[in-house]
A and B are shown apart, each in its own frame.
Chain A
Amino acid sequence: MIATESLSKRFPRVTALDRLSLDIGPGVTGLVGANGAGKSTLIKILLGLSPATEGTAAVLGLDVATRGGAIREQVGYMPEHDALPPDVSATEFVVHMARMSGLPPTAARERTADTLRHVGLYEERYRPIGGYSTGMKQRVKLAQALVHDPKLVLLDEPTNGLDPAGRDEMLGLIRRVYTDFGISVLVTSHLLGELERTCDHVVVIDGGTLLRSSSTSDFTQTTTTLAVEVTDSDTHPDGTRALREALTAAGAKLHARVEDGLPGAGHILLVEATGEQTYDLVRDTVADLGVGLVRMEQRRHHIAEVFRTDEHAQAGTDAADEAREPVAAAQHAAQHAAQHPVQQAAQQKGDGRDGI
């Protein structure tokens, strides 16, 4: 789908892409990187809108330097920022965008009705966009990227600004774009966690260079750390210690280190999760002790920990990633907790920390 060969983009002051070589196949591919890592620059080059300083790139087998127009006919793009005029309806806007992609008028109208239905906009599509919620606007942006039935869509931060429920819906929708519609997806995000759930393949770039490219299953297998926080009760004035003892007795591996700087620091136990049974063990132990479960989340401290084979993980990214990783982990906890009603508290806590 996308192939780049030592692609570089240099601006007078800054190098946005530095000899980036990628080969992305069909499916849902996540492109992860901090702000300024070169994600948007890469998308611009892939759409043939910005010439590369050196190196080559091809999308759908077409050279971006010479076949930009042909690429843009077959590719959809959803920008990160707001891009919708408030005073027209979603239908009118998407029909217009379909025609701008070369669809004849009748086909443009049919495809618009279909696409808006698929992204989940029904009666409201006849109302002016100005009155839409953020989630609905994101759907319209997605619809205009899909309306001409492209072979590939480039989605720039599609979950930006959405609440946790909206984010889950958007991620589910993105998954369906490939599984149901057969359209390959390149989706960027600075949250690794949400891409893990959606993507077949994840590419991590930083400072314009490739940090790691691997299939999602490769790194979901890595053992993870589980952060558990409980309340105190009358029978167990120090719930944390009681749980630590009970868990150790049950054979769970606890980390000695403690977390600083996060809410509940000092009251959080770090348990090594070896699989589903660890979640069950924690749940049962907490229930037996009769204390309240405040949180249970997956923790990963650094991207470097995920990509532990990568020797070049710079200290610079680590600091930035530390702030984000709990969010990714919280979603895992939320997902897991949904299967275990006992852990509702953990889910709520996790969601509460999700709003970025």
Chain B
Amino acid sequence: MASDLTTPPGTTDPTRIHNIGYRSYDGPRLGRAYARRSLFSQSLRGAYGLGRSAKSKVLPMILFAVMCLVAAIIVAVAVAGPGMTDLPVKYTRYAIVMQAVIGLYLASQAPQSVSRDLRFKTVPLYFSRPIERVDYVLAKYAAMASALFILTATPLVILYAGALLAEFDFADQTKAFAQGLVSVALLSVLFAGLGLVMAALTPRRGFGVAAVIAVLTISYGAVSTVQVIAWDQGSTGAVEWLGLFSPLTLIDGVQTAFLGATSAFPGGEGPSAGSGVVYLLAVLALIAGSYAVLMRRYRKAGL
């Protein structure tokens, strides 16, 4: 850091006006890693409308409030209800119950995170700075995943606090809470990737919103319907494998196999640990695929 040349002169006499002319900057330049962190924090704040107009705060804040409010109601029931020994909704189940809210949040915020930069051609300005393509993609991806994690993990914290308040078994609750956190973390990364890919491929924000909602709800609706039909037909094996075809049932499968969750599949026919590996691999492949598509998308977007 150079000597303190940049302090405005005349601080002792505030009535004087100085024409200080152009001042050059010889302070530190923090480089690429700092720029990546700045982009991450700006994108994360932006995902909740912070640093943006009042109008753009409304929807994410309402959705966040809904997520927390429902958790608070569950806690109230658990604390007030006589003879309760566990929360009425399990930690791993909460995100599945609230999937519509999560889907809406992703549909509204993923396009604002990436489509705006593409549509208003701000991307070249980023790439004319020290960061590289990989930094941009990583920062945007991490920011979206973190925003989703905040949205999905905060209600779990409320549930956990409530469970402790109701004096449920501490060890059981802590284990289930930790499993729930792992589950929503995985969900956040998977959904963020899918949402950003769809948003980045549709520079018009409206299309991005529609695409995200469509992919999430249609795939889940289709898979659940076919699963119910398969269950009625008595083919439980089909139920187990059909879950591979929608993002949410993928997460359901993974947490059923590895995180002690009760499956939301018809009849609770979730995958066993063996087939659960396939689910886990599918999730990881989708995450890697999303990252690869994003990297490809921005190869041509520079300047």
Contacts and interface: CB of A to CB of B under 8 A. Distances in A.
A58 B6 CA distance: 32
Most buried by B among A49, A70, A81: A49
Contacts of B120: 82-86
Given A84-B120, A85-B116, A144-B125, A102 B6 contact: no
Given A81-B121, A83-B122, A84-B122, A104 B28 contact: yes
A144 B121 CA distance: 14
A73 B25 CA distance: 13
Contacts, number: 111
A79 B129 contact: no
B42 interface: yes
A99 interface: yes
A123 B122 CA distance: 24
Q: Name the interface size band of chain A.
A: 35 or more
Nearest to B25: A149
Contacts of A101: 29, 35, 129-130
Nearest to B124: A79
Contacts of A76: 128
B258 interface: no
B16 interface: no
Contact of B24 (A47, A49, A182): A182
Interface string B119-153: 01110111111111000000000000000000000
Most buried by A among B6, B128, B302: B128
A120 interface: no
A161 B198 CA distance: 34
Nearest to B30: A102
Interface in B23-49: 23-32, 34-35, 38-39, 42
A313 interface: no
B52 A88 contact: yes
A306 interface: no
Interface in A13-53: 40, 43-44, 47, 49-50
A69 B303 CA distance: 15
Nearest to A76: B128
Interface stretch (A107-115, A200-208, A246-254): A107-115
Contacts of A104: 27-28, 30
Most buried by A among B21, B53, B129, B130: B129
B23 A114 contact: yes
B38 A96 contact: yes
Nearest to B23: A114
A87 interface: yes
A79 B303 contact: yes
Nearest to A96: B42
Interface string A87-126: 1100010001101111110010011001000100000000
Interface in B88-146: 116-117, 120-122, 124-132
Contacts of B38: 96, 99-100
Interface in B42-96: 42, 51-53, 56
Nearest to A89: B53
A148 B28 contact: no
A97 B131 CA distance: 12
Given A100-B38, A118-B22, A49 B127 contact: yes
A212 interface: no
Contact of A97 (B6, B125, B127): B125
A201 to B, nearest CB: 22
A72 B29 CA distance: 12
A180 interface: yes
Given A69-B32, A69-B130, A97-B129, A83 B6 contact: no
Contacts of A82: 120-121
A72 B129 CA distance: 5
Contacts of A118: 22
A103 B128 contact: no
A128 interface: yes
Given A49-B302, A72-B129, A79-B124, A107 B27 contact: yes
A86 B125 CA distance: 15
Given A73-B130, A101-B130, 7 more contacts: A44-B303, A77-B124, A85-B120, A88-B51, A102-B35, A128-B53, A182-B24
Interface of A: 40, 43-44, 47, 49-50, 69-70, 72-73, 75-77, 79, 81-88, 92, 96-97, 99-104, 107, 110-111, 114, 118, 128, 144, 148-149, 180-182
28 contacts: A43-B303, A44-B302, A47-B128, A49-B128, A69-B32, A69-B130, A73-B129, A77-B125, A79-B125, A83-B121, A85-B116, A87-B53, A87-B56, A96-B42, A99-B35, A100-B38, A100-B129, A101-B29, A101-B35, A102-B28, A102-B35, A102-B129, A103-B29, A103-B30, A107-B25, A110-B6, A149-B24, A180-B21
